[in-house]
Amino acid sequence: MGDMAGLSVLVVGGGSGLGALVGRMASERGASALGIIDIDGTAAKAALEPARSRGIAVAYAACDIRTADNAVATFEKIVGRLGRIDTLVNSAAIFPRKPILDITDQEWDASFGVNVKGTYHTMAAAVRHMREQKPRDRIRGRIVNITSVDAFKAHPQNAHYAATKAAVVSLTRSFAHDVAPDGILVNSVAPAGMATEKARALGFVDELAKASPLGRGGEPREMAEWVLMAGGSKNTYMTGENIIVSGGYIYA
């Protein structure tokens, strides 16, 4: 679904999970270059191996994106190695669980620091870069943020996570409106629970199956398809949208 041919892609939080899968699928679909930023530099390097084996240009860096100086310097480091960034995917997030009345100031700060401020910093760095690069088919760049259905459905055990994802939906719309005249498209994808190995280990898969009208949790690849669609060359007009991929878990 997502055509990545010739695009230079950067995935923040791409060392594992959905972000790593998006990077791998982008390289399989013709991306010319792949960069990964992650708090875990070793994981970022390992996640690039499939792309490296295909012979495409790769770059990685370890970074704590909660501060602007770190995020901007690391983004520029990747640009220095790859030359340009056509598609930025923001996948970095933490997922704490805590009863709603027990969330501490430190836990609020940690959640918003990574999930909201970090996303803002990398988006801002990308916009400054994309505004200066030559457009392709009138598009200078695409940004895709990973949000969550938790932004739209009550979850008392992770209210702080849900609040951050609602904030990212709003941030996506604000950026989309501001940078549309520059030929930059900004969208988000909101997955429901995925049938990952971690979810199976925690016993969530049966819960996901019961919650979905389709009778199962989504596969990570099914979520990644929509990320690549929004970030790929076939998307030339959609911006400011939040794509919910929930198997009918919620309707929007």
Quick check: is 2 in a domain?
no
Quick check: is 3 in a domain?
no
Quick check: is 1 in a domain?
no
Quick check: is 250 in a domain?
no
* Angle between helix 220-231 and helix 17-28 axes, rounded to 10 deg: 60
Q: Model confidence over 141-160: pLDDT tens digits?
A: 999 999 999 999 887 788 99
Is 120 annotated as catalytic? no
Number of domains in the chain: 1
Quick check: is 129 in a domain?
yes
Q: What is the pLDDT at residue 157?
A: 85
Res 197 pLDDT > 90: no
Which amino acid is it at 177? H
Token pair for residue 224? 């990644």
What is the domain range of residue 159? 8-245
Catalytic: which of 120, 161, 249, 251?
Answer: 161
CATH of the domain at 44: 3.40.50.720
Quick check: is 96 in a domain?
yes
Report yes or no: 113 and 60 within 8 Å, Cβ to Cβ: no
Q: Model confidence over 104-132: pLDDT tens digits?
A: 999 999 999 999 999 999 999 999 999 99
Residue 225, C-beta contacts closer than 8 angstroms, at least 6 positions apart = 1, 2, 25
- Cα 228 to Cα 234: distance, rounded to the nearest angstrom: 10
Q: How far is CA 165 from CA 95, 146, 156, 162, 203, in A?
A: 10, 8, 14, 5, 23
> Which of 224, 197, 222 has its CA nearest to residue 21?
224
Q: How confident is the model at residue 252 (pLDDT cuts 50, 70, 90)?
A: low
Quick check: is 251 in a domain?
no
Quick check: is 28 in a domain?
yes
